[in-house]
Structure 1
Amino acid sequence: MTAPDTSAENASPDRPSWRESLTVYLQPRVLIVLLLGFSSGLPLALSGSTLLVWMREAGVDLGTIGLFALVGTPYTLKFLWAPLVDALHVPVFTRAFGRRRGWLVFSQLLLIGAILLLALTDPARSPLFVALGALLVATMSSTQDIVVDAFRVESLPENEQAAGMASYVAAYRIGMLVSTAGVLFLVTAFESTGIGRTSAWMWGYVSMAALVLIGTLTALAATEPEQSARAEAATRSESAFSRVLHAAIGAFSEFLTRKDALTALAFVVLYKFTDAFSGTMTAPFVIDLGFTRNDYAGIVKGVGLAATLIGGFAGGYVARRYSLVTSLWIGGLLQATSNLAFAWLAHVGVNQWALALAISVENFTGAIGTVIFVAYLSALCQNPLHTATQYALLTALSAVGRTYLSSGAGYVAAATGWPLFFAISVLVAVPSLLLLALLQKRGHFDALGPVRV
């Protein structure tokens, strides 16, 4: 395995002062991206970890819970309809709000409806309907992600891209925490008023549907990106079919003709797999260990949030201080070995301090890995004509580990027990590190050039 290259550093020689850095974060466009990041992060857990807690409390077995990772399929296939989002108009919405904002409002209204539909299901009685509801939520959420990514890239000038990326990632993580710990607190609060558990979960999901309106109001308050408006004007005379064809073929052909394209795509699939494999079963593990719903929610929302934000800044520092390949080595090794914290927790048992430490380690290292990984994905999107579709392709592939490769995690946990399961989750990072070494040896990262975060 090739050792990390620490000789090539990409720190910017002209770093802005802290006052200038703070000012750029307060720019209206950056604040718009921040709020859209919250809206993008909010629904992910509603069809993932939060839903798994609901199912576990309803008595659903671990094997079935693990299979529910498959409802994240839309996140892996969203690149298939990304050209449609790039090229087609939504009746009424596009004319009223513009190309990107029209799709934003449209997808968010559908997302609200999907979450409300999922809220009406009962995991104990109809797991099939729960799966269908979760699938709809994932589909609408991934469509929103496509539009938000395109809006972010097109609306921010170069000097605001770094601040926009950092704000988006931070707000995305906060949105995920609200839809995990926030929902668990709400469910407990509803139960304390005498509402039954099923109804409490329903109202928890209804509350999350209402929070999606933050993104809708943000889209209404924003202005259509100039790049999008120019693209709309330039392709107005083309047919819808022609626009879709050009967006799809151009994005895929340009990427696949690059050297080591398939190896890079395999690396994209596997880099976050170790996080996904263990993360799929973290919530059921904590519940099985004997912690209460509030124990888990309080630590995730408090200590976990702080660790996430600190980890995000740390990831930005690492990516700015070191070369991209070195940063990926650091992120990959940290997020893999962090799973040992849960193996240790399994031996310690019910101890809130130990749970706080394990959650903090996971969130801190996960945030570092995420920021570095987003920087890598952004560096791969080198053609501004196809940024939206290419980014959708790459993020969809990165979700394969979370969706398909992690679907058997419940069966592995049931067969091995929790300590061994988390030890195995460290080993599943080895293929991604081997691919990283191979890409480094072939000069893949040198061809991407310097990356600024």
Structure 2
Amino acid sequence: MADAVAETKKSKPGWGTLLRSLRNPKSGYMALFGFASGLPFALFLGTLYAWLSEAEVELETMGVFSLIGLAYAFQFLWSPLIDKVSIPGFSKLGRRKQWIVPSQILLGVILIALSLSNPTNEAIGWFSLLAGIGALASATQDIAINAWRIDVADEEATLDILSTVYQMGYRLAALVGGALGLIIAARIGWPQTYLMMGAILLVIGIAGLFAPDSKAGENADGTITDELLVSLSKKGELQPAVRTRALAAVGLLWAVAIGTVLTFMYMSLAYAPEDRPNPTDFTVTYGPWIIVATVVIPAFIAGWLASQKAKGENVLTEDLPVKVAVSPLDHLYRALVMPLVEFVGRMGWSLVLILSLVLTYRICDAIWGTFAYPFYLGELEYTNDEVAFASKFFGVGAIIAGLAFGGYLITKFGRMATLTLGALIAALTNLLYADMAVGGANMQAASDAIGFSWFISTIAPFGSDALPRLTFTIMWENLAIGIAGAAYVAWLSSIVSKKYSAVQYALLSSLTLLVGTLGRGALGEMIEDRGYFDVFILTTLIGGVAVVLCVFEWIRVTRKGANSGVVAPDPQAVPAE
């Protein structure tokens, strides 16, 4: 009886569950990997521009570096390699580490090489090549790290906790590579700063050698990857001719998409500055078509294949010899088509709800981020120092606090409850900015009432009287972003299959990133025409749509758990598959 009571106390959700999970070595490695994921992103897409500006690199030339962002936006295009291909000489490291560790070491070497280079207009070619390779390596390790998190999650180091820890490491790296990087560079110089950052990544890469992982060629559950191919020869599987036609269609669509991105990159690097295509225009113009070609149409093809198999049409009536089924084409089918067939077949019509939620949950943050500094510096007329304090130092701390609280809420109340709460408060914080857009009287009054204004004026005496209300507003927004982010990444990780985690997660996360990019143009026009107040009201309403979708997804997940015999208000104990 005493043992049963002790076990009940041990399994009771809350801070105890959170702390036990954080003691698991997997959580420690997850924090390191999260930091390694966030540091290059900050260094290549933010801090690097400060270095180039200080080196007086021409703006037209600097525009080439915006290509780096494409590596992150379209990383799903090479995600099938991460799921399927083993790197010769590195496969013994593990299924995911064979990609993670070499990428981190390569990033460390590239950052050190950048520190030894001279980013002048005359030598910018070599510098930009290094940065481009670094961005590809960074995006590649992100794919593998996200898949690793899904693969290694267990009952103690849960998927929810690992997702939260990952984001904490990522946000901390953004602070180190961003604001702290600027401070360090002002004192010791840019080359020395990038040398230091490169050394950090090399250390993380070496430490990653000792992280747990499933063996290359095996899934997280221990089954041999080739057995997935062998299963294609079994009775009831789709006929080879049908698979080949589906592969031809999907392969052609992916080839066109990859060719389009490569052509754009070549034109941007090889053409004269005045003739180079604009990266934002490219993403807005071609981004939707790339998504249609690589996600939407293949999803319809995958749905048809899944329905054919479910109906018993166009399937094998007897087992085939293995050598007949396992062909080079089937390896491509395994990499490109099977992840979609599995996902569409498992989700069915729920896929519409899931994609709608993916497209709307973080859209406010994704769109608003581009206009944050124009709003702070231009509309509200704060100084650079004030904005840096409120958004970079205090703001990042608030996000990390929000992530920690979000992790606690997930363990206490469940993933879906936290996901819905995160969507609600993230939407409502747009109303705080709406108040700021018309003077911020309510935010100032609230800040004064709880003593926050006194606190900020004490720790930041350099700011104006208006700094407390900006910091107060950013604090609440970032707390909400932290809670919502912890739940969103955990939910996104939970709906993908461990067998195809790299491809499925990369596709879904890329949708989240691209939809924000596509909406910025329209939002910018609305700011010009209507002003910031109306924009914040609109983003609140968009956030409200996400809340409604979260409720429907919560209902779907709860019913799924009930139908599968799982008695729980939230499926966090259910395997990701």
TM-score, reference length from structure 2:
0.62
Which of 265, 268, 271 is 2:355 aligned to?
A: 265
Does the Cα contact within 8 Å between 1:98 and 1:224 map onto a contact in 2?
yes
- Identify if the C-alpha distance between structure 1 residues 115 and 428 changes in structure 2 by more than 3 Å, giving closer, same or farther: farther
> Quick check: 2:390–2:474 contact (8 Å CA) kept in 1?
yes
| Residue 368 of structure 1: how far off its partner (Å) | 0.8
Measure the CA separation in 2 of the matches of 1:130 and 1:431.
Answer: 44
Give the 3 Å change call, closer, same or farther, for CA 31–321 of structure 1 in structure 2.
closer
The 1:125–1:148 alpha-carbon spacing in structure 2 relative to 1, beyond 3 Å, is: same
Q: Is the aligned partner of 1:151 residue 2:140?
A: no
Whether the 8 Å contact between 1:336 and 1:429 is mirrored in structure 2 is yes
Instruction: Please give the alpha-carbon distance, in whole angstroms, between the structure 2 residues aligned to 1:251 and 1:287.
Output: 45
Instruction: Tell me if 1:375 matches 2:466.
Output: no
Classify the secondary structure of the residue corresponding to 1:235. Answer: helix
Is 2:572 the counterpart of 1:452?
yes
Is this contact kept in 2: 1:39–1:214, CA < 8 A? Answer: no
1:249 paired to 2:337: yes
Task: State whether residues 82 and 388 of structure 1, in contact with CA within 8 Å, keep that contact through their aligned partners in structure 2.
Answer: yes
Shift of 1:26: 2.1
**1:296 & 1:420 partners in 2: Cα distance?**
23
**Paired residue for 1:180?**
178
Alignment of 1:203-214 (within 5 A): 204-205=193-194, 207-214=196-203
Partner of 1:7 in structure 2? none
Post-superposition shift, 1:115? 5.4
Moved more, 368-377 or 330-339: 330-339
Of 319, 331, 335 in structure 1, the residue corresponding to residue 422 of structure 2 is: 331
Tell me, in whole angstroms, the C-alpha distance in 1 between the residues paired with 2:113 and 2:417: 45
TM-aligned CA distance change 1:239 to 1:156, over 3 Å: farther
Task: Please give the per-residue CA displacement for 1:105-127, whole angstroms capped at 9, x wherever unaligned.
Answer: 22224434665788879799999
CA contact (8 A) 1:30 1:160 kept: yes
- How do residues 5-404 of structure 1 correspond to structure 2 at under 5 angstroms? 14-15=11-12, 21-48=18-45, 50=47, 72-94=69-91, 97-112=93-108, 137-161=134-158, 162-190=160-188, 204-205=193-194, 207-226=196-215, 229=218, 235=226, 242-257=330-345, 258-288=348-378, 289-322=380-413, 324-345=415-436, 347=439, 351-381=466-496, 383-404=497-518
User: How far off is 1:36 after superposition?
Assistant: 0.8
For 1:94 and 1:281, locate their aligned partners in 2 and report how far apart those are by CA, in whole Å: 44
Aligned residues: 429
Q: TM-score, normalised by structure 1?
A: 0.76
Helix, strand or coil at the partner of 1:225: coil
The CA deviation at 1:358 is 2.4
Q: For 2:402, give the aligned amino acid.
A: G
Counterpart residue type for residue 184 of structure 1:
L
Q: Secondary structure at the match of 1:89?
A: coil
- Checking the alignment, whether the CA contact within 8 Å between 2:104 and 2:205 is kept in structure 1 is yes
CA deviations on 1:402-444 (whole Å, 9 max, x unpaired) are 4333366555555655555544443443553454466567x46
Q: CA deviation at 1:377?
A: 1.0
**How well do the aligned residues superpose, as a CA RMSD in angstroms?**
4.4
Partners of 1:379 and 1:448 within 8 A in 2: no
Letter in 2 for 1:282: A
Distance 1:77 1:272 in 2: 18
- Bigger Rg, which one: 2
Letter in 1 for 2:353: T
- Of 22-31 and 403-412, deviating more is 403-412
Aligned to 1:4: none
Structure 2 CA distance for partners of 1:105 and 1:321, relative to 1, 3 Å: closer
1:136 and 1:433, CA in 2 relative to 1: closer, same or farther beyond 3 A?
farther
What is the alpha-carbon distance in structure 2 between the residues aligned to residue 282 and residue 215 of structure 1?
32
Q: Which runs of 5+ in 1 are unaligned?
A: 1-11, 191-199
1:398–1:85 distance in 2 versus 1, CA, 3 Å:
same
Q: CA deviation at 1:56?
A: 9.2
After superposing the two structures, state which structure 1 stretch, 341-350 or 116-125, moved more. 116-125
Write out per-residue CA displacement over residues 165-224 of structure 1, whole angstroms, 9 at most, x where no aligned residue.
33222212212222222223224435xxxxxxxxx5665555444432343122223244
Separation of aligned partners in 2, 1:38 and 1:305: 14
Unaligned runs of 5+ in 2: 1-8, 231-325, 441-462, 563-569
- SS of the residue corresponding to residue 156 of structure 2 reads helix
Aligned amino acid, residue 429 of structure 1: G
CA separation of 1:371/1:74 partners in 2, compared to 1, >3 Å: closer, same or farther?
A: same
Could you tell me whether the CA contact under 8 Å between 1:67 and 1:410 is conserved in 2?
A: no
1:373 Cα deviation after fit? 0.8
CA distance in 2: counterparts of 1:74 and 1:400, whole angstroms = 12
The CA deviation at 1:268 is: 0.5
Report the more deviating stretch, 84-93 or 280-289. 280-289
- Distance in 2 (alpha carbons) for counterparts of 1:413 and 1:207: 40
Structure number with greater CO (CA < 8 Å, separation at least 6) is 1
1:174–1:305 Cα contact (<8 Å) kept: yes
1:220-265 C-alpha deviation (Å, 9 max, x unpaired): 2324435865669653997776445314322111112322313311
Paired with 1:411 and 1:66, the residues of 2 have a C-alpha distance of 22
Cα separation, partners in 2 of 1:148 and 1:124, compared to 1, 3 Å: same
- Please state how far the C-alpha of 1:366 moved relative to its aligned partner: 0.4
Tell me: CA distance 1:122–1:344, structure 2 relative to 1, closer, same or farther (3 Å): farther
- What percent identity do the matched residue pairs reach? 29
Counterparts of 2:135 and 2:424, CA distance in 1: 29
Alignment deviations for residues 76-134 of structure 1 (CA, whole Å, 9 cap, x no partner)? 43233222112112233335x34322211222244346657888797999999999877
Equivalent position amino acid for 1:38 in 2: F
CA gap of 1:439–1:27, structure 2 versus 1, over 3 A, is: closer
Q: How does 1:427-438 map to 2 (within 5 A)?
A: 427-433=541-547, 435-436=549-550
